[in-house]
Structure 1
């Protein structure tokens, strides 16, 4: 995939997906997949950098990092992407957007967007208006209707609410992939090693939705292997940790040194809420039970 955000170059005619795509969930992927159905056109995407603050968003809470978003788009087969910061285009009118981006940068012959897509300063124009205006430029617009799964319309807000309430298995089903944390392994207090459960500690990436504090069945991706693991999300109340929330993961049957490595941990299912134990021995006993649960 070629990112033309910082180095705009002429590109061949495209079928371009439009949207913020803060999660690339199953609904978003319906928009992306439509771009591959137009013979002779290169599949492309216009989006915003994931750390962009969009209007009406009090807090940035994405479902995946910008790096993970680019990785998934490349895996899907998108050929070109243009992802500026929102502030650089927020004052464009709808016509500015069509002429300066869709025509001049994306060389779009087909544009694909969701039913709720908005464009222009203040989100003043909708998908139907985009379709009408694009006719003047010889651009076809395909509007993707809502996508439902198990009676639920798949959209980012619903998925984020599931993650915040610990319903991670349901969230993953709507995402179409497992919600993941990716970050550098940092130094911890090494208490886990003294009780037979060595762990890796990772700070949560900026601007990622925070799951419900608690213990999760997880898998850790390590050197091409998918390792069963148990992850505690929270503030480790038993040992008096007082900093930002962490993901603390015990990788089953592994005892290597991973400090400084960047690893991805995927949450699969919620086991129990985070709680404070009266002693380290009580914590050890519960961790042993958590590991048994995670293996089931």
Structure 2
């Protein structure tokens, strides 16, 4: 997949001369609704014998319009992961635009002339709620007028789950609530996060459940506090286990949130490893136990549930 990184104003020398069907969107998470847009664009590109291109952005457009704090700074898919997802969906070319104040200042007609036409678009495809400027003047309904017959426009209808719109907003809310099962269903795949294994308090090994402490990037979403089944990728190998997002408040109050994973039947030194976590299923919420013994009893139950879960996954 070819990735063309663009900073406004566009240098036309960056753009290949061949025509494309262009799918447009920020595509945070590349969820099932986004996938429907890209699949439709792929179908059109195949029928027209042209390449499938995607126009997307290197950071959230909201950054240009208002201060972002806390969860607003997090992504369901960082630019690198988004590119990986687009590649898997068969995209041939990505125009990765840096969304700046100067870029945002373009009027809709300027955006169309400066970018969509310059990309040699034969058909522009986006979701029904996609905008490319101010919401009242930059809708998909108005795009054909700006196109002025130079390219076709196709709008993809709303994709729903449980009769509700599938959206990045819904997925973020599910993640915050610790409902990784719903998040995965809306994404259409198992959510992944990244990190590096660092030293923790080493308390897990003293109670028979050593953990890999995963230091995660601040700009990636994590499921809310709770215990989950997951897999950890080390190098090219995936290891199943159970993972906790929590404060370990059995051992004290007001502790920081940590991400700690116990791998099933793993022996080795993981310190310093860059890893991926694939989040599968929520087992339970966080519980404050009266003693370490009570925690150990619960961890044994969690281990049994985790082994049963992955045995079922293997059987399916």
Residue 110 (structure 1) aligns with? 123
SS at match of 1:254: coil
Deviations 1:30-84 (A, max 9, x none): 1111221223221111111145544478523422222111111112221211222
Aligned-partner Cα distance in 1 for 2:216–2:60: 14
Shift of 1:131: 2.4
Residue 47 (structure 1) aligns with? 56
TM-score, scaled relative to structure 2? 0.85
What's the RMSD between the two structures over aligned residues? Answer: 2.3
TM-score, scaled relative to structure 1? 0.90
SS at match of 2:104: coil
Shift of 1:21: 0.6
Shift of 1:242: 6.1
27, 39, 48: which is aligned to 1:33?
39
Residue 312 (structure 2) aligns with? none
Give the conservation status (yes or no) of the 8 Å contact 1:22–1:50: no
Describe the shift of the 1:76–1:61 C-alpha distance in structure 2 as closer, same or farther (beyond 3 A): same
SS at match of 1:16: strand
Give the conservation status (yes or no) of the 8 Å contact 2:60–2:99: no
Please identify runs of 4+ aligned residues in structure 1 that moved more than 6 A: none
Aligned-partner Cα distance in 1 for 2:121–2:255: 47
Shift of 1:24: 0.4
Structure 1: gaps (5+ residues): none
14, 21, 46: which is aligned to 2:27?
21
Residue 282 (structure 1) aligns with? 294
SS at match of 1:126: coil
Question: What pairs up with 1:94-173 in 2 under 5 angstroms?
Answer: 94-104=108-118, 106-121=119-134, 124-134=137-147, 136-173=148-185
Shift of 1:89: 1.3
1:5 aligns with 2:18: no
Aligned-partner Cα distance in 1 for 2:162–2:134: 36
Aligned-partner Cα distance in 2 for 1:138–1:178: 40
How many residues in Structure 1 have an aligned counterpart in Structure 2?
294
Give the conservation status (yes or no) of the 8 Å contact 1:51–1:66: no
Structure 2: gaps (5+ residues): 309-316
